[in-house]
Amino acid sequence: MITTNIIKVMVVDDEDFDVSRVKNTVNLSSTKIQVENVLSNGRAALEELQRKPDNYDVIILDYQISGGLRGEELIRKIKEMDPFIQIIVITKMETNTTDFEFANNLIKAGAIWYCTKYPGDIEEYIYQPTDFILSIVNACEKKRLEKQKSKSDKRLLQSIESMLESKKIIGESKPIQQLREAIEKYAKSDANILITGGSSTGKELVAWNAHLKSKRRYEKFIPINCGSIPQELVESELLGHEKGSFTRAIATKSGLFEIANNGTIFLDEVSELPLSAQGKLLRVIQE
């Protein structure tokens, strides 16, 4: 959904003629977009952002602005101050549309889009007005989505930290310390982990900690008691089945491996699976 609020724009350009053209272009959509401020150099732009954080949605930046702070360096400093603000670059440089190196450098620095100043009506507008306005609207929407995602990620992280606290492995003995170090180490990898130990020694607790400390922590953790799955349903439960593949398969069913995809699957008491199922399970894990 495109935001209905006024999009607040900062223009950073030291040429009055080009500033006027930017304003003329933006004014074609004055009910949605408003030029809040015009600044003539990069340092003034950074000072303005420091004085008024969260006051701007989009910065329209002249790539060859006067002063020592310009180009990719200025873009990076702006993004350091406000990672959500979106930057559109305008330039007089005669860049070929296949000059991917120039475009990639801008994107790596933090810009969302760039255009040259002179392919349209050079007396009145910057670039093609409809494309330019659409790029501003899209940039603002990108800012909104990035802020929304950041808030969601923070809530998820708080939830994960709370779960880690509730599943904390307690104890200060040397074996416990070594266990915690091993969890930290192996959680960073994509390797399959074999957790051994007697009944009720906390194997699932170890698996939970490995999951919550891994890059998969935002995805599902699926624990399975392999001993509780009826022998005739082992393959169906773990690997799923298609509709009609056997008598009772009245619908397609996703297996637990598919459900846990990109997350963690914990196979508790895996040795209790039938040997035939263990062989197929090994193949799945290997692949």
Length of the chain equals 287
Same domain for 171 and 113: no
User: Alpha carbon of 43 to those of 12, 39, 77, 238: distances in Å?
Assistant: 10, 9, 10, 59
How much is the pLDDT for 95?
52
Residue 30 pLDDT > 60: yes
Same domain for 165 and 145: no
pLDDT digits (tens, 9 = 90+) for 259-283: 999 999 999 988 888 888 888 888 8
Domain boundary among 150, 181, 211: 150
How much is the pLDDT for 122?
65
CA distance 138 to 116: 18
Same domain for 231 and 263: yes
Give a yes or no: residue 155 inside a domain.
no
How much is the pLDDT for 1?
42
Give a yes or no: residue 257 inside a domain.
yes
Same domain for 176 and 57: no
Give the mean pLDDT of 155-169. 88
The model's confidence at residue 190, banded by pLDDT at 50, 70 and 90, is confident
Same domain for 239 and 177: yes
Q: Among 40-54, 106-120, 141-155, 188-202, which is the least confidently predicted range?
A: 106-120
Residue 287 pLDDT > 70: yes
Q: How many helices (H) and strands (E) does the chain have?
A: 10, 9
CATH of the domain at 52: 3.40.50.2300
pLDDT digits (tens, 9 = 90+) for 62-104: 998 877 888 999 999 999 999 999 999 998 866 555 567 888 8
Residue 170 tokens, joined: 């307690």
Give a yes or no: residue 2 inside a domain.
no
Same domain for 142 and 82: yes
The model's confidence at residue 44, banded by pLDDT at 50, 70 and 90, is very high
Domain residue limits at 53? 7-150
How much is the pLDDT for 27?
92
Give the mean pLDDT of 227-249. 80
Count of C-beta atoms within a 10 Å radius of residue 171:
11
Pair 234, 257: CB distance under 8 Å: no
Same domain for 199 and 88: no
Residue 188 pLDDT > 70: yes
Give the mean pLDDT of 2-25. 88
Portion of the chain with pLDDT greater than 70, in percent: 94
Residue 121 pLDDT > 80: no
Beta-ladder partners of 10: 37, 59
In the chain, the number of structural domains is 2
Same domain for 176 and 47: no
Closest CA to 196 of 268, 123, 97, 100: 268
How much is the pLDDT for 119?
61
Same domain for 12 and 82: yes
Give the mean pLDDT of 2-28. 88
How much is the pLDDT for 253?
83
